[in-house]
Amino acid sequence: MSLTTAHSVVAPSANSKRIAGAIIIAYALISIVPLLWIFATSFKTPPDSIAYPPKIVFQPSIEGYCNLFTTRTRQTPEYINSLGPATGICDETSRKRNMVIAGPSNFLPRFVNSLIIAFGSTFCAVFLGTLSAYGFSRFKVPLADDLLFFILSTRFMPPIAVAIPIYLMYRELGLSDTALGMILLYTAVNVSLAVWLLKGFIDEIPREYEEAAMIDGYTRLQAFWRTVLPQATTGIAATAIFCLIFAWNEYAFAALLTSGTAQTAPPFIPTIIGEGGQDWPAVAAGTTIFLVPILVFTILLRKQLLRGITFGAVRK
């Protein structure tokens, strides 16, 4: 038997590869259908969006996006006819439904709130997490194991279990409905994940790198900055994505603690439904736009994420 046709005990056979491929594709399809559905709905007209049987092929419209970014008032056809020519495509579509654009909606500021709060808390959690993980990894911290367990224990219960105390606390401290309050809250939730994930990554970086740098004339902080941090980027990126996904998608606390100026997109999007009928295309448009930042961030860091989540499975 020649070596090339010999049965390999390591490489999967062609058949098992095909089966694995089919399962993965099926799972990917199931996962992606809801997203495609939302994406399609965002380009439907309101009647198309609730048509039964659902329309797979339809005339695309940007009405959903128009409705998402604007508030409109109903007017009589006479009044609308008395107005001058429509100022834009959104103006035109609303006039067809006997509506006039009254002004911008709250979506944009809520979306900006989401960006500030999610990225802000991610930065804080990763920053604190990296420093704590480095400390736990490199120094003899008294009761290190107990402290690490304590840090992890903050995730033993669903965060929402402490919603009422936090609500009362935030009201007293004046942190309700502030971006700072939300950043602090999400940081607190994420920092335990960050410490644990990053400790694993930093443990894997040999101390010799910092020791070499310190012997070569650098302080510990400089050594950390110049030798540990560049090598921990994979772990930091993976941790950042996990933290960001949590902070970006978080709904319960946001709904409870923010209502106005600091409201994030997740509690805002459902409120669109209430404004002048069930405007599914606008909700779908909001959701689609909401998905973009996390999608971009994940795609940018996908290499690190992949290495991050398979971390430890294979030694480099």
Partner 1 sequence: MAEIRVQHLRKAFGDFVAVQDSNFVVEDGEFFVMLGPSGCGKTTTLRMIAGLELPTGGQILLGGDDVTMLRARERDIAFVFQLFALYPHMNVRKNIGFPLLAQGMPSAEIRTRVEETAKLLRIDHLLDKSVSGLAGGDRQRVALGRAIVRRPKCFLMDEPLGTLDTEFRDLMVHELRELHNRIRATTVYVTHDQMEAMSMADKIAVMNHGVIEQFGTPREIYDRPATMYVAEFIGSPPMNFLKFGGGLAKGASEILVQGAKVAVPEVREDIAPADMALGIRPEHIRFDDASKLRGSIYGTEYLGTTQIVAVETADGIIKARVPAEIRLNAGDHVGLALNSARLSLFDKGSGRAVKTAIHDTASERRAQHG
Positions that interact with partner 1 (CB under 8 A):
206, 208-209, 211-219, 222, 226-227, 230-231
Closest distance between partner 1 and the C-beta of residue 211, in Å?
A: 5
For partner 1, which is the closer residue by CB, 123 or 209? 209
Q: What b/e string do you get for 192-224 counting C-beta neighbours within 10 Å, with b at 16 or more?
A: bbbbbbbbbbbebbeeebbeebbeeebeeeebb
For partner 1, which is the closer residue by CB, 146 or 211? 211
Closest distance between partner 1 and the C-beta of residue 204, in Å?
A: 13
For partner 1, which is the closer residue by CB, 97 or 138? 138
For partner 1, which is the closer residue by CB, 209 or 311? 209
Q: Report which of 123, 57, 117, 65 is spatially closest to residue 94, judged by C-alpha positions.
A: 65
Q: Which two tokens stand for residue 193?
A: 């994940």
Closest distance between partner 1 and the C-beta of residue 223, in Å?
A: 9
Closest distance between partner 1 and the C-beta of residue 157, in Å?
A: 37
The total of other beta-carbon atoms located within 10 Å of residue 39's CB is 15
What is the rounded CA–CA span in Å between residue 168 and residue 175?
10
What is the rounded CA–CA span in Å between residue 127 and residue 211?
22
Closest distance between partner 1 and the C-beta of residue 233, in Å?
A: 9
What is the rounded CA–CA span in Å between residue 147 and residue 37?
46
For partner 1, which is the closer residue by CB, 203 or 208? 208
